[in-house]
């Protein structure tokens, strides 16, 4: 049988398909995704859940003339297929497609959206621009999950959209979860909508009663209208949206193409702001995903067995695993320690703590700003909160870290997972900003562990601080071998000493966290010499705590001709910049080279490949050191 998917190269190809063919196309898309994403890795469960919804969206709306904006964007694989992008061979790899919408890939990708709760703001702005330009025949559609609706920014956008008359269609893709089941009042409200028949049906019953029995029917119908507001709140909680001034359509079975298409056509014709509430099931059509009760194969690793949904190879212990185990031990030792996360309980490793201490864990939804300020309140109340989020998402609550936690000298520990170069998720998910943006926060202290032992040690040290916020950040993936220190000098770990009397040497390499291994490799290459070059003796140190700059680093620099700093973070305003400034302030003028990530967005690729390309591997560090000393 000829593949229908192969025949769909742009959205208008969907117009010629019959209902039966649309169902067949949906099945083919699911087979394609399971086969390909199991090989490359990526967001499988979310995309399996939006197949029919995406087909209906592209049949009703004329992309890119009508703007489709996806929130979070990880569920846009089906959208990519329907807009002609069938080459998934290198998905999320160098030279391949992004795992999120990407403007460089297609005119159908309006925004490169991969942080949650932003799509409705984009949609509001696009719709306003169309109005100003006189493009009144265009529609804007924001597709947002119920998980993303837990973010405050989404409600700021709703407030603005509802206050106007712009033709914005908001599709709430309600699958009861983000990474894991959605929590909070909004989740409860949508849950009520899922299980409640609409009050309009109750009114229809009154109309029918009137036609059958006019004497009593009229009274019934009049009574029903008299308590309409009460019925809206009790029988049909969609009143919350309608009271904002927005038309509500739903709930709709999101796996019925015809039903979704009908609802979307009604919304399109309305001409003002409309919410279409669509019920979908994450991982639909794939038993391993449906059987995964916790997150339904939200994201699968490369080389996953498509038959089972399990990886063919089991990787080593991750940085997250180490933190998770230590957090559990800390919870046992200290009853005042509590955990907070923003819809990432399992990914950041707080699930074991939650299982053991359910009364001491708070998942606030996709609301990092609230998490930071709530943590400040918890600290005021006599507890020590540990806020665990991805490093890239800390950017979203910088003001709360600065003006709430730090200003009040609150004893709050922020644990940043997926810090530094993360790899396949691309520009939006590399955690290369935190060491720079946090440098300006008065009193805040930052620790960067180099191995598992240091994760355990530094988290322990961080939660002992009760008069300032602390930060511990670590990488994504498997933690490497432990690196023993030769000695500790006033808190700074010396990992290698230059082979010269009194510890003096040609070069001091200051390595932040996991790049200590690459720095040691570079020191070995420098000591051997290469291509006729003179050997260079280097001392390698790990500061452990990188903010504030330890005075011991300044004294170590005095005994060396030059300094190289290495960090898995942006070069602008990061650890190296702070050390360079500290040396100048102390009158220690040494040639200094700051190695890190340039002020550019880094594309998706494997972490090791990106680090090597940026000169942050052993060879790159050694080459930079030779050039520095030569000049």
Peptide bond into 251 cis (omega under 30): yes
Point out which residues pair with 413 in neighbouring strands. Answer: 386, 470
* 516 marked as binding residue: no
β-partners of residue 487 are 494
Rounded-to-integer distance, Cα 121 and Cα 143, Å:
12
Q: Are 423 and 610 in contact (CB under 8 A)?
A: yes
Residues 20, 284, 71, CA angle at the centre, nearest 5°? 105
The 3-state secondary structure of 429-482, one letter per residue: CCECCHHHHHHHCCCCEEECCCCHHHHHHHHHHHHCCCCCCEEEECCCCECCCC
Check if the beta carbon of residue 348 is closer than 8 Å to that of residue 388: yes
Nearest to 326 by CA among 391, 393, 412, 415: 415
Q: Do 527 and 499 touch, CB atoms closer than 8 A?
A: yes
C-alpha pair distances (Å), 619 with each of 296, 450, 522, 526, 565: 41, 19, 6, 9, 15
Q: Are 17 and 58 in contact (CB under 8 A)?
A: no
147 is in an annotated binding site: yes
Is 286 annotated to bind ligand?
Answer: yes
Interacting residues of 378 by C-beta distance below 8 A, sequence separation 6+ = 338, 340, 385, 412
Q: Retrieve residue 186's tokens.
A: 């909004």
219 in a known ligand binding site = no
- What is the CB neighbour count within 10 angstroms for residue 313? 8
**Is 175 annotated among the ligand-binding residues?**
yes
3-state SS class at 294? coil
Q: Taking the C-alpha atoms of 148, 64, 97 and 124 in order, what is their torsion angle to the nearest 10 degrees?
A: -30
Q: Quick one: which of 545, 484, 473 has its CA closest to 517?
A: 484
Query: Residue 106, annotated ligand binder?
Result: no
DSSP H or E run through 340: strand 337-341
| Count of CB atoms situated within 10 Å of the CB of 308 | 12
Specify whether the CB–CB gap between 162 and 246 falls below 8 A: yes
How would you classify residue 503: left for phi > 0, otherwise alpha for psi between -120 and 50, otherwise beta? left
Q: CA-to-CA distance for 301 and 380, rounded, in angstroms?
A: 41
As a whole number of angstroms, the distance between CA 441 and CA 436 comes to 10
User: Would you please indicate which residues are annotated as catalytic (active-site) residues?
Assistant: 282, 368, 396
CA distance between the termini of the chain: 68
Strand pairing partners for 489? Answer: 492
Task: Answer yes or no: is 148 a known binding residue.
Answer: yes
Give the chain's largest Cα–Cα span: 108
Residue 248 known to bind ligand:
no
How far is the C-alpha of 525 from the C-alpha of 516, rounded, in Å?
14
User: Are 58 and 265 in contact, with CB atoms under 8 Å apart?
Assistant: no
Please list, residue by residue across 173-186, b when 16 or more beta carbons sit within 10 angstroms of its beta carbon and e when fewer do. bbbbbbbbbbbbeb
Q: What is the dihedral of CA 56, 57, 58, 60, to 10 degrees?
A: 80
Binding residue per annotation — 408? no
Write out the binding residues for Mg(2+).
146, 175
Write out the binding residues for thiamine diphosphate.
74, 114-116, 147-148, 175, 286, 368
Write out the binding residues.
74, 114-116, 146-148, 175, 286, 368
């Amino acid at each position: 049988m000829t593949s229908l998917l192969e025949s769909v190269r742009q959205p208008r190809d969907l117009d010629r398909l019959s209902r039966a063919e649309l169902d067949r196309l949906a099945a083919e898309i699911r087979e394609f995704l399971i086969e390909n994403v199991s090989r490359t890795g990526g967001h499988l469960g979310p995309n399996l859940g939006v197949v029919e919804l995406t087909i209906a969206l592209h049949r009703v709306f004329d992309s890119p003339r009508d703007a489709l904006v996806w929130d979070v964007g990880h569920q846009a694989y089906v959208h990519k297929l329907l807009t002609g992008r069938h080459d998934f061979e290198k998905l999320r790899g160098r030279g391949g497609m992004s795992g999120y919408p990407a403007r460089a890939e297609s005119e159908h990708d309006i925004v490169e959206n991969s942080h949650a709760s932003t799509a409705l703001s984009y949609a509001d702005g696009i719709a306003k621009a169309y109005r100003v330009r006189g493009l009144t025949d265009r529609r804007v559609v924001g597709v947002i999950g119920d998980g993303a609706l837990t973010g405050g920014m989404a409600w700021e956008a709703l407030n603005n959209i509802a206050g106007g008359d712009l033709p914005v269609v908001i599709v709430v893709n309600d699958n009861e979860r983000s990474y894991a089941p959605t929590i909070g009042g909004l989740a409860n409200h949508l849950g009520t909508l899922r299980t409640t028949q609409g009050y309009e049906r109750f009114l229809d019953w009154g109309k029918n009663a009137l036609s059958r029995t006019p004497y009593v029917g009229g009274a019934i119908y009049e009574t029903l209208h008299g308590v309409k507001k009460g019925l809206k709140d009790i029988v049909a909680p969609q009143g919350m949206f309608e009271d904002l001034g927005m038309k509500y359509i739903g709930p709709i079975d999101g796996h019925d193409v015809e039903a979704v298409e009908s609802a979307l056509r009604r919304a399109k014709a309305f001409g003002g702001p409309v919410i279409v509430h669509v019920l979908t099931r994450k991982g639909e059509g794939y038993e391993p995903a449906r059987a995964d009760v916790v997150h339904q194969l939200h994201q699968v690793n490369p080389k996953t067995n498509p038959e089972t949904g399990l990886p063919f190879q089991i990787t080593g212990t991750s940085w997250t695993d180490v933190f998770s185990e230590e957090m559990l031990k800390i919870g046992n030792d200290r009853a005042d320690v509590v955990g907070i996360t923003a819809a990432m309980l399992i990914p950041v490793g707080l699930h074991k703590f939650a299982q053991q201490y359910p009364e001491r864990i708070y998942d606030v939804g996709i609301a990092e700003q609230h998490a930071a300020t709530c943590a400040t309140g918890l600290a005021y109340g006599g507890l020590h909160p540990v806020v665990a989020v991805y490093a890239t998402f800390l950017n979203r609550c910088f003001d709360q870290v600065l003006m709430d936690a730090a200003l009040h000298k609150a004893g709050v520990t922020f644990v940043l997972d997926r810090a530094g170069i993360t790899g396949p998720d691309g520009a939006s998910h590399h955690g290369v900003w935190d060491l720079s943006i946090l440098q300006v926060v008065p009193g805040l202290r930052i620790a960067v562990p180099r191995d598992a032992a240091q994760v355990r040690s530094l988290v322990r040290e961080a939660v002992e601080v009760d008069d300032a916020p602390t930060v511990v950040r670590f990488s994504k993936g498997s933690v490497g071998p432990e690196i023993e220190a030769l000695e500790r000098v006033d808190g700074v770990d010396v990992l290698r000493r230059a082979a010269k009397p009194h510890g003096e040497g040609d070069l001091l390499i200051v390595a932040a966290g996991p790049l200590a291994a690459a720095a040691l490799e570079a020191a070995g290459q420098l000591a051997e010499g290469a291509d006729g070059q003179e050997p260079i003796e280097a001392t390698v140190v790990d500061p452990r705590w990188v903010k504030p700059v330890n005075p011991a680093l300044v004294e170590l620099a005095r005994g060396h001709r030059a300094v190289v700093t290495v960090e898995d973070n942006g070069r602008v305003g990061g650890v190296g910049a702070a050390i360079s400034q500290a040396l100048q302030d102390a009158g220690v003028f040494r040639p200094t080279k700051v190695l890190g990530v340039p002020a550019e967005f880094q594309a998706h690729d494997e972490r090791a490949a990106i680090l090597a390309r940026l000169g942050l591997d052993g060879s790159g560090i050694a080459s930079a050191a030779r050039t520095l000393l030569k000049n």
